[in-house]
Structure 1
């Protein structure tokens, strides 16, 4: 499958580009970025062609991999899907449910394959755990803490404008929801408040009756950094295991799954429909914290 890579930042260069260039069943056919000089440098690094016209790159490939801010990704993903290209996208899918819906419609109407890269969902130990936990059932709730600290010197993400503006809810929040939702099911109501150091704390009432809690920030004190998810209920408590992999290996698995979905026609568990569900919960939490009330996801 011929892939076009849209984006030239750290994630595009060190994760997506690296995985695509090394994948035995993928061809990194070209790179486009908002800065033509960076696109040229990254294309030279991976021995492929830089593009100055994103639509020209979309026209030349079978699929696009996107590593750009969510509001830019959503528009380009829709354009690529309308052109009949398979989608390998980053999280979150979009900043609004409305934008996510347009992508889902374009993908479904054209029978395209899609994968949204929630990193931990492409690690075998975590996927095995989630399948076992979902089959067991009987969970009363789940707790997720994602305390990152990206604004320290040397962080490749510290200068990201959208992360500074949107915070942990939109950056690490998708990762926690990608693990909670397969076990506890869809969310019926969300109540969220702001906390110290740019944190968002959210309470989720799932349609199953279970309750999920999220604690999220990108500006944790370095000594307080943590990423942990656990479930509790009839089975006692169970912690989600470590991924046991690297981002590049996980993205390689995401490419494998996109290829499988395109070949067999089945939907991936992390397709754009699931990505849209995550966006709807994030959007509800964002609205709840701003308006001081409980919100039902779209």
Structure 2
């Protein structure tokens, strides 16, 4: 499958680009970025061609992988779908529900395949754990904590990210937490009723009520000192307690599985569980949480 990469930032160069360049079933056709100089640098690093015109790249591709801020990503995803390109997007697909809905509608109208890269859903052993707990059922409560040191003193390439500075952990790592809880505990049918509160820095706490009556809590932060950082999730029910295992592979390997998932969805016509419809739901829930912070 001929892929175009949209984006030239740290995440594109560390994860999307290397995974695409190394994948046996991918031809990395080219790279486009909002800055031509950065696109040329990325193309040189990845052994491909830089494009100044995004529409020219879309014309030359079967699929695109987008590694751009969410509110830049969403309109480009619509544009790519209308050009006939399958979509491998990043989370969150957008920070505005209407923008997410427009992506979903474009996919439905054009019939292209879509996969959104929620890292834990494509990493092992976390992906297998999520599937196992969803199949087991009977869970009554859960929690998911993503405590990052990006703004807490870590030496991170994402510390200077303008959109992360503006929107905070709720939008950057909130999708990860929901990608674990929603498949296991069910949808949040009335997101307008969820509760949210602020902690130190950009820390946000959420309380969710799920479709079958289960409840969950999330703590999301980029403001933890490095010594306090960590990712944890668990569910509790009649079978006892089950805890999310630690990831033991790189995001590049996980992204390669997302490429496989998109290829399979395009081949079979079957929607993937992490498609744009799921990503739209995540955006809707997080938008409700953001609204709750201002009530």
Coarse TM-score class (shorter-chain normalised): over 0.9
Check the 8 A contact 2:29/2:61 in 1, yes or no.
Answer: yes
Tell me the equivalent position of 2:17. Answer: 17
Tell me the equivalent position of 1:264. Answer: 268
Q: Secondary structure at the match of 1:196?
A: coil
Give the distance between the partners of 2:287 and 2:140, measured in 1 at CA: 24
Give the distance between the partners of 1:260 and 1:53, measured in 2 at CA: 29
The answer to whether 1:179 aligns with 2:183 is no
Q: Secondary structure at the match of 2:194?
A: strand
Tell me the equivalent position of 2:69. Answer: 69
Q: Secondary structure at the match of 2:47?
A: coil
Give the distance between the partners of 2:183 and 2:196, measured in 1 at CA: 21
CA-CA distance at 1:115 after TM superposition:
0.5
> Under a length normalisation based on structure 2, what TM-score does the superposition of the two structures give?
0.96
The answer to whether 1:190 aligns with 2:194 is yes
Correspondences of 1:1-298 after superposition (within 5 Å) = 1-151=1-151, 152=153, 154-187=155-188, 188=190, 189-291=193-295
Change (3 A) 1:153 1:120: closer
Q: Secondary structure at the match of 1:15?
A: helix
Count residues in correspondence: 291
CA-CA distance at 1:139 after TM superposition:
0.7
Give the distance between the partners of 1:245 and 1:221, measured in 2 at CA: 24
Check the 8 A contact 2:121/2:130 in 1, yes or no.
Answer: no
Q: Secondary structure at the match of 2:125?
A: helix
Give the distance between the partners of 1:38 and 1:266, measured in 2 at CA: 36
Q: Secondary structure at the match of 2:92?
A: coil
Q: Secondary structure at the match of 2:196?
A: strand
Give the distance between the partners of 1:48 and 1:131, measured in 2 at CA: 36
CA RMSD of aligned residues (A): 1.0
CA-CA distance at 1:134 after TM superposition:
1.4
Where do 5+ consecutive residues of structure 2 fail to align? none
CA-CA distance at 1:97 after TM superposition:
1.1
Give the distance between the partners of 1:223 and 1:243, measured in 2 at CA: 18
Tell me the equivalent position of 1:294. Answer: none
CA-CA distance at 1:153 after TM superposition:
5.3
> Under a length normalisation based on structure 1, what TM-score does the superposition of the two structures give?
0.95
CA-CA distance at 1:124 after TM superposition:
3.5
Check the 8 A contact 2:154/2:225 in 1, yes or no.
Answer: no
Give the distance between the partners of 1:198 and 1:124, measured in 2 at CA: 29
Give the distance between the partners of 1:97 and 1:162, measured in 2 at CA: 17
Give the distance between the partners of 1:159 and 1:101, measured in 2 at CA: 29
Per-residue CA deviations over 1:8-29 (Å, capped at 9, x if unaligned) read 0011011100000010000110
CA-CA distance at 1:154 after TM superposition:
2.8
